[in-house]
Amino acid sequence: MTDQMRTAQPTFDQVPETGQPSGGLSIDFSADTGAVPMAAAATPIAFAPEPATAPGGPGGAASGADRTEAKVVIIGSGPAGLTAAIYAARAGLEPIVLAGSAPGGQLMITSDVENYPGFPDGIQGPELMALFRAQAERFGSRIIDVDVERVDFGSRPFRLWARGVEYRAQAVIIATGASALWLGLESETRLRGRGVSACATCDGFFFRDKEIAVVGGGDTALEEATFLTRFASKVHLLHRRDTFRGSRIMVQRTLENPKIEVHYNTVVEEVLGDTKVEGLRLRDTVTGQERVMPVEGLFIAIGHRPNTDIFRGWLEIDEKGYLRVEGETGSQIEGVFIAGDVHDHRYRQAVTAAGDGCKAAIDAERWLEAQGVVTASTATAW
C-alpha cells in the first residue's frame, strides 16, 4: 500500500517474545504484545562502517542499559519518533525512546508500503519499522516498549512515568502520533490490509478500476471519496445520517461527481470476505432493512484520534485534539518539542512524519546547546 494496508495483514503471535534485532530483522518490538514477523525475503541493508564507537555512536547502547535519565527522551516509536532517535543518537544525545506497548506506529498495521523513498519494489510496514528501530539502536538509542502514563513538565529535568518507573530528561520530543478511528467490527479488523484501509492517499492506487466504498460524512470522507474516483470505477459513499457534516463546497463537489453514489442513513454491519473484501452487509438506519453491496475495498474516513491525553494541562491542544506547534517543532514549554501526526492533521504520511522527527531532534540539540547542556554537532544551514 503506502502508509496503510495491503495484501497480507501482519500478525503479532508468530515469533517468540525473545527475538532481538538482527541481520534477519526478526525483532521483538514489545515486551507486552510480542514480536512482529518480518518478511523472510527482506534484503539486508549494509550500513557503512563508522570510524568510532563513542557515546551515541554504534555500540553505545551497550552502556547504561538501565539508565532512566537522558538529555533527550522521545515519546513514540513511529517514523517521527525513531527518526528523531537516529538524529539525536548520532548527535551524541544518547536518547531514551519510550516506544509504547504497541510500538511502531500506524505502519505496523500496513502491509505493502510503496510510497516511502528508497524502496522501488515496496516494503512491508513492519519491516520498514524494524529497519528504523535497528538504525536507531545502532547509534545508541535505548528503546523501551512501555506506555507513558503521565508527565510533569513543570520544571527541568522533565519527569515522565511509565509502568511505575520515573524517567528524567533535559528535553522531550513528543511523537505519539494519531490513531485512525475505526467502526469496531470484527470483520473490519480481520480484513485490514486486505481491502480495508483508513488512508485513501496511501492505498487508492491499489483499487484501480474496482468498485469500492467510503464510510463517513465529514470533509475527510468527502475529500477521500473524491480522491478515490481517480482510481476506482465507482465509489459508494456511506453516511449514517441524512445530511453531510462537511463544508458546502465539498458536499457540492461530491454530489456532482458522476463516479460517486451517495447512500444516506446507511451503516456497515459486516465486511464480507474470508481473505479479502468481497462485499458489505449494510443496514438502513431508518427502516432497519439490510442488504448486501458487492465491493472490493472499504475506506474508513470517520476521523483520527491524536494521542495527546497525557499532555492535557501542560500543552496547548486544538479543537480537534492535536497539539499546537510553535515555530517548526516547538511547544509552549521550552525544551518540549513536537513531531509527526500528533500535530499534523493534514498530511499524515510516514515520510512527512520522519522529516518532522529530524527537525525536532535538531531543534532539541540546538536548544540543549543554548542551555549549556551539550555542544551541538549537527550541521545545519544556520
Which residues form the catalytic set?
199, 202-203
Residue 326 in grid coordinates: 510553535
What's the gap between Cα 212 and its chain centre? 24
- How far apart, in whole angstroms, are the C-alpha atoms of residue 45 and residue 24? 10
- How far apart, in whole angstroms, are the C-alpha atoms of residue 131 and residue 339? 20
Specify whether the CB–CB gap between 169 and 160 falls below 8 A. yes
Rg (CA), the chain: 22
CB burial of residue 327 (10 Å; 0-12, 13-18, 19+)? exposed
- How far apart, in whole angstroms, are the C-alpha atoms of residue 78 and residue 109? 12
Where does residue 215 fall: left (phi above 0), alpha (psi -120 to 50 degrees), or beta otherwise?
A: beta
Q: How far is CA 82 from CA 10, 170, 203, 231, in A?
A: 20, 19, 24, 33
Residue 192 in grid coordinates: 485490514
62: Cβ–Cβ under 8 A, 6 or more apart, which residues? Answer: none
